Structure 1
Amino acid sequence: MIRSMLTLAGLTAALVLAGCASQPAAPVSKEAAAATAVNDAAAAAKLKGNWAGNWTLPGFGGGKFELIVTEVNGTEVKGSANWYGTAAGDTKGPLAGAAVQNGTLIENKSSNAIKLSLKGDNELSGTWSASGYSGPLSAKRQ
């Protein structure tokens, strides 16, 4: 019994010390935050238009992907994402809450997510995830 209590006390102490060992995030200056926002808005503006490519589920296959960006307001991106050849069939839907953050287009819907980075002016690459599955995603400007 004493051995169990000592083991539990040691484990608790180790967890407390591990939690204290992490460093707090360095504060971001207002200038750096403003520069990031300007860069993200510029990246978002470059996304406007039609993109076509592919999604892949490693080990299972994939299908066609389309991203249609119709409106950009600062870092906010509006349009639609269309998926072809999924297990649920072809799905088309609006981008919901999509925005560019740190140079990456991010859309998070409940259990679904898209993360795409612009490569040059005409190529996007990144990842998708949905219902516990994920894989690479890419598209080129049309």
Structure 2
Amino acid sequence: MVYMSNLTRIVLRWIPALAVMLVIFYFSAQPSFVLPDFGWADYLVKKGGHMVGYGLLALAFWHALEWKSDRRWLAWLLTVLYAVTDEIHQAYVPGRNPSVWDVVIFDNLGALISLLASGALIQQKRPDKKA
């Protein structure tokens, strides 16, 4: 068995969150004239992207926090705080505008749905302690 220091374990647990944050930053840094137009599905694709991206970020944060159920809401809070900073960042990208509704509705919903659904799945897979 390979020995790993606590610091190494902590750093490794945060790598997925950092990776998702970089992907979100990359997409939000694209000027509006570079973004593809998905025609009639444009709104659904882009808002769905918000939900998926921030849902994955919430799960990555929860993973970094060791999947402890009492830390699920901290993962949600970190996700929403990152969403706020991302919207502020978009104010400085040509052709992009920050939207409080992206944070309040789509980013928040993506994070909540992923955390609640994965929490329910984890709970379902655990053996019943009463038996």
TM category, shorter: under 0.3
Q: Pick the structure with more strand per residue.
A: 1
- State the structure with more CA Rg: 1
TM-score where L is the length of structure 2: 0.24
Q: Please give the TM-score of this superposition, normalised by the length of structure 1.
A: 0.23
The higher relative CO (CA closer than 8 Å, separation ≥ 6) is in: 2
